[in-house]
Amino acid sequence: MPDHKPKTELLDELEKGPWPSFVKEIKSAGQTSASAQDLLRQLELSYQEKKGHWKHGGLVGVLGYGGGVIGRYSDVGEQFPNVAHFHTIRVNQPAGWFYTSDAIRTLCDIWERHGSGLTNMHGSTGDIILLGTRTPELEPTFQELAQAGFDLGGSGSSFRTPSCCVGMARCEWACYDAMRLCYDLTMAYQDEMHRPPFPYKFKLKCAACPNDCVAAIARSDLSIIGTWKDEIQVDESAVTEYASAGLNIQKDVCDLCPTKCMAWDGHKLGIENHECVRCMHCINVMPKALRPGKGRGAVLMIGGKAPIMQGALLSSVLVPFVAADELLDTVKELLRRIWDFWDEYGNNRERVGELIQRVGLPAFLDGIGLDPIPEMVSAPRDNPYIFYQAAKDGAK
């Protein structure tokens, strides 16, 4: 252990101010970890020079897995030898990010023995991130984690660690059991997660209602977003209570409904449910009075991703409704067909959403055996360049 503390004038600035400081965290880990100290030194250099000092890649990992570890090397390793190799381990989080204090301590003890003592709770995809260790520590860390009941998450061109919202554990709006579906799908695709088989990454997120607290629509290739098919449940006396407590139901609820399917006459709230798009606004405003219907399930959406490579995409509708108890089987069957098609036609580093952009949604639907339906588009095409399929349509 070096006995001198790193000199970090710029970073010390970020120990000031009311928001909790990541610099304090690195210094705290540095009490027992030489790599955390060198991380701080290298970061100070980055702050001085205004540039990063990490190199990507290298084939590092644990025996038999092709993912779960991100190889990371310093480009100033001679200056900071304790972070010359500083690999990240992704550990699959428990669904909904629930823990007991004992589970947290177990993770801490393992990581203190084998790595920098620094974590992210959590990474962007949802994993527990163990930040920084050397190659020889990877396998022992992995096996100690496994003994404690934890496994690695996905990386590279794999089925990435699925994540989900808090769902039925603590939310009255959950339209399906997101934590269970997330867990079941994670268990079903351990091979696809640990041994990257795809053209590129594939992400899946389970949001139990259209509020989408896990950003499924923006951040997952397959977005499973809870919704309901029947009528919003209304507790009329609770509506009256909101009104007498001062809520302006006309202005704050009816006027903000995107389809104007609600009417308030001062006593009774009327809802044209067949015009409702299940946006959640009214339910969000009056959680005691309104609830999603009883015919619950999810809409399945495809193709969401961040910009790299061809530009960002939001997921779009693939199946407008699947009943909650049919979700697991339906999603597994769909994934089989989607992955088959993507395997066959996807280019290297082409996300499934970009493949759909390239070949067109109609060809993708043909490929996975789904019929086109109007729910899939915001409007039918407005250009007349139609690729008629002469043979199929009987044109001569």
CB of 372 to other proteins, least distance (A): 21
List the one residue out of 318, 298, 312 whose CA is nearest residue 377.
Answer: 318
Task: Say how far apart CA 306 and CA 312 lie, in whole Å.
Answer: 4
Considering beta carbons, is residue 95 or 269 the nearer one to other proteins? Answer: 95
Task: Out of 111, 202, 228, 364, point to the residue binding other proteins (CB under 8 A).
Answer: 111
Residue 88 binding other proteins, by CB under 8 A:
yes
Contact status, residue 342 vs residue 303, Cβ threshold 8 Å: no
Task: Out of 2, 5, 7, 13, point to the residue binding other proteins (CB under 8 A).
Answer: 13
Considering beta carbons, is residue 109 or 230 the nearer one to other proteins? Answer: 109
Which tokens is 281 given?
């606004």
- List the beta strands (DSSP E) in 286-358: 290-291, 296-302, 316-323
The interface region with other proteins, picked from 120-128, 326-334, 367-375, 383-391 by CB under 8 A, is 120-128
CB of 390 to other proteins, least distance (A): 29
List the one residue out of 106, 71, 64 whose CA is nearest residue 90.
Answer: 71
List the one residue out of 245, 295, 185 whose CA is nearest residue 193.
Answer: 185
Which tokens is 242 given?
């909101």
CB of 364 to other proteins, least distance (A): 18
- Interface with other proteins in residues 219-278 (CB under 8 A): 219, 225, 252, 256-258, 277-278
Helix (H, G, I), strand (E, B) or coil at 46: helix
Task: Out of 69, 131, 224, 269, point to the residue binding other proteins (CB under 8 A).
Answer: 131
CB of 391 to other proteins, least distance (A): 32
Residue 323 binding other proteins, by CB under 8 A:
no
Which tokens is 173 given?
């709006």
Peptide bond into 179 cis (omega under 30): no
Contact status, residue 30 vs residue 6, Cβ threshold 8 Å: yes
- CA 1 to chain centroid, in Å, comes to 39
Mark residues 274-303: x for contact with other proteins by CB under 8 A, - for none: ---xxxxx--xx-xx--x------------
Count CA within 13 A, CB hemisphere, residue 216.
28
Task: Say how far apart CA 323 and CA 355 lie, in whole Å.
Answer: 28
Residue 381 binding other proteins, by CB under 8 A:
no
The conformation of residue 261, written as its DSSP 8-state character, comes to -
Residue 213 binding other proteins, by CB under 8 A:
yes
Task: Out of 39, 249, 276, 356, point to the residue binding other proteins (CB under 8 A).
Answer: 39
Considering beta carbons, is residue 42 or 368 the nearer one to other proteins? Answer: 42
- Interface with other proteins in residues 174-193 (CB under 8 A): 174, 177, 179, 183, 186-187, 190-191
Residue 159 binding other proteins, by CB under 8 A:
no
- Interface with other proteins in residues 351-380 (CB under 8 A): none
CB of 380 to other proteins, least distance (A): 16
The b-or-e profile of 184-205 (16+ CB within 10 A means b, else e) is bbbeebeebbbebebbbbbbbb
Task: Out of 1, 3, 78, 101, point to the residue binding other proteins (CB under 8 A).
Answer: 101
The interface region with other proteins, picked from 12-20, 196-204, 359-367, 382-390 by CB under 8 A, is 12-20
Residue 108 binding other proteins, by CB under 8 A:
yes
Mark residues 134-153: x for contact with other proteins by CB under 8 A, - for none: -----x---x--xx-xxx--
- Interface with other proteins in residues 46-85 (CB under 8 A): 46-47, 49-57, 63-65, 72
Helix (H, G, I), strand (E, B) or coil at 335: helix
Whole-number Cα distances in Å, 64 to 60, 145, 189: 11, 16, 16
